[in-house]
Structure 1
């Protein structure tokens, strides 16, 4: 089978959805898997999700991007301190999932979180990052690295853009011109009442709201074919996720 580059949206502890969509996409060891971050904070399989991803990397070519929820949880693991608001946005479920995990394994998970990438740029000048960036000259010039996993202005900007604005216009956003395509998660598509990957300008949002009522999505970046799990909440019927 031909190798593919597959991008995966925000998982938020929904390991059942992840396994389901990997199977539906018929993922093989020939494929490159680019995960857009937010592996935890939502459903009860947070610890098992990280365990699964660590094992997956041993057999598949995986690129793991850092999400804001991943940074929040790493801060908790390293400093044993946290913003109380984080607990209300999935943090408590993640903490609870780690109760039975032995310290030695938790250390392996800490290493996983520490080695996440802020962004990935492929040979076709396609950018993959969790949230966005703000520097008009591109990610290598970004002064505020937290933008990679906290920014929402990139997606908000392309949502508000005039679809007919030509690229040579003085008003065309300069930061978009740096890359052929940009792939992000972070801002759930439920906000615009969508549950499939959405493109605005050259930005693709893959966060189909698996943390809430939506499915988890994998997309082939070359063909734009995508596969989805069942809505994650149906796989965890006795849980609230981030709803």
Structure 2
């Protein structure tokens, strides 16, 4: 039995927001932290974010899920065409974070330990009452019968409860309002951190959301006050 079940939305290289979020939330060895994918790309310090999470994982039960941007990055490693596309969609910022002089975006600069860390990410995490995933799930199929692309690419649109009855907590679909989209049976916590919004940590147990920004701001939300029909 964990004290807190903590889900962190799309980080996208926003190290300042991530550092402040962890400072405010203070996860411990009695908590379970789930990072919902898209740690990489777009923001300026993917390398720093990965290193921070790898260090945190040595002290705290922490699981990172596979996002579409991690999948994109893995594909880019061995495919020049995929690499070209990835560079356009945030990969350049990722690679520049691995160059000490911020001078050249070379995929060879990514550390092997970081590749191994990303390769270890599962598609989803399931508890007795929740499903955690980056994208979304097909509401009509058990998780084991789904096309795994859904877990990384499906948008938070026309959302219905999953047949398991479990609450689905996801990222991927950016909420320009900066607020989590709370349908109760499903919650999206990608709150646009890399584009002037907020990085969200949902305390599922306490029904609150902690949010930080790249500008160094912090706020806490009562999830019961932002429920949508």
Instruction: Return 5+ residue gaps in structure 1 as ranges.
Output: 159-172, 236-243
Q: Which residue of 1 aligns with 2:116?
A: 111
The normalised TM-score by structure 1 is 0.79
Deviation at 1:103, TM superposition (A): 6.8
Distance in 1 between residues matched to 2:150 and 2:141, nearest whole Å: 14
Q: 2:148 aligns with which of 138, 145, 148?
A: 145
1:119 touches 1:130 (CA, 8 Å); kept in 2?
A: yes
Distance in 1 between residues matched to 2:110 and 2:55, nearest whole Å: 12
1:45–1:104 CA distance, 2 compared to 1 (3 A): closer
Distance in 2 between residues matched to 1:51 and 1:68, nearest whole Å: 20
Any idea what SS the aligned residue of 1:156 has?
coil
Moved more, 4-13 or 127-136: 127-136
Kindly report which structure 2 residues correspond to 1:47-196, keeping only aligned pairs within 5 A, or say none.
47-79=47-79, 81-82=81-82, 84-100=84-100, 106-122=111-127, 124-134=128-138, 136-142=140-146, 144-152=147-155, 155-158=156-159, 173=160, 176-190=162-176, 194-196=177-179
What do residues 153-210 of structure 1 show as CA deviations (whole Å, max 9, x unaligned)? xx2112xxxxxxxxxxxxxx5x6232320000000011xxx21222125110011110
1:135–1:99 CA distance, 2 compared to 1 (3 A): same
RMSD (Å), alpha carbons: 2.2
Distance in 2 between residues matched to 1:196 and 1:89, nearest whole Å: 24
Distance in 2 between residues matched to 1:91 and 1:220, nearest whole Å: 30
Matched, 1:25 2:25: yes
Count of matched residue positions in the alignment of Structure 1 and Structure 2:
210
The normalised TM-score by structure 2 is 0.84
Deviation at 1:141, TM superposition (A): 0.7
1:97–1:105 CA distance, 2 compared to 1 (3 A): closer
Distance in 1 between residues matched to 2:134 and 2:79, nearest whole Å: 24
2:36 touches 2:170 (CA, 8 Å); kept in 1?
A: yes
Q: Which residue of 1 aligns with 2:227?
A: none
1:65 touches 1:119 (CA, 8 Å); kept in 2?
A: yes
Instruction: Return 5+ residue gaps in structure 2 as ranges.
Output: 101-105, 217-229
Q: Which residue of 1 aligns with 2:103?
A: none
Distance in 2 between residues matched to 1:104 and 1:43, nearest whole Å: 17
Deviation at 1:84, TM superposition (A): 3.4
Q: Which residue of 1 aligns with 2:211?
A: 228
